Amino acid sequence: MAAASSELAAGMNEAASAAEELKRASDQIASGAEEAAGAAQESLVAITQISGAIARQMDAARVAQAKAENGQALAQQINTEVKATIGSIGVAAKRQGESVKMVAELERQAANIGDIVKCQVPDDCARS
């Protein structure tokens, strides 16, 4: 019976030792799980910050695109207006040229009228 008691005591000691070892392993696993949870939380915060930064960059890109499109539309409008102005200047130059010709013709006709009026006095026509 003493041998059985001794064996039983040894088995109990082994079981207690195994239980203690199991508790230490469980504590290490729990500690590792806590560290992993902390790292996961930090990763979540970092991902949330990155997501916010990406959203802000996308908004800034949309604003820049809208400004570029508005600038392009303005440049096209200015181009159209400059072309119209150039066309108007061409028309005005043509009209000015026609006016110069008309004034020259009127001056010629005025000179002819002056000559005709001078000839109405017989002595003046003889002198010309």
CA 118 to chain centre: 79
Decide: pTM greater than 0.75.
Answer: no
> In this predicted structure, what is the pLDDT of residue 74?
98
What does the buried/exposed string (b/e) look like for 22-44 if buried means 16 or more CB atoms within 10 Å of the residue's CB? Answer: eeeeeeeeeeeeeeeeeeeeeee
What integer is the mean pLDDT of 50-68? 98
Residue 128 — very low, low, confident or very high, per pLDDT cuts 50/70/90? low
Residue 117 — very low, low, confident or very high, per pLDDT cuts 50/70/90? confident
What residue spans define the domains of the chain? 2-98
Residue in the structure block whose two tokens are 């908004």: 59
Helix count (H) and strand count (E) of the chain? 2, 0
> In this predicted structure, what is the pLDDT of residue 114?
81
What does the buried/exposed string (b/e) look like for 117-127 if buried means 16 or more CB atoms within 10 Å of the residue's CB? Answer: eeeeeeeeeee
**Residue 72 exposed, middle or buried by CB count within 10 Å (0-12, 13-18, 19+):** exposed
> In this predicted structure, what is the pLDDT of residue 127?
55
Distances 30 to 15, 25, 26 between C-alpha atoms, Å: 22, 9, 6
Report the C-alpha gap between 30 and 37 in whole angstroms: 10
Please tell me the number of Cα atoms within 13 Å of 41 on its side-chain side.
Answer: 6
Per the structure block, which two tokens stand in for 38?
A: 């902390």
Report the C-alpha gap between 28 and 119 in whole angstroms: 134
More confident residue, 118 or 122: 118
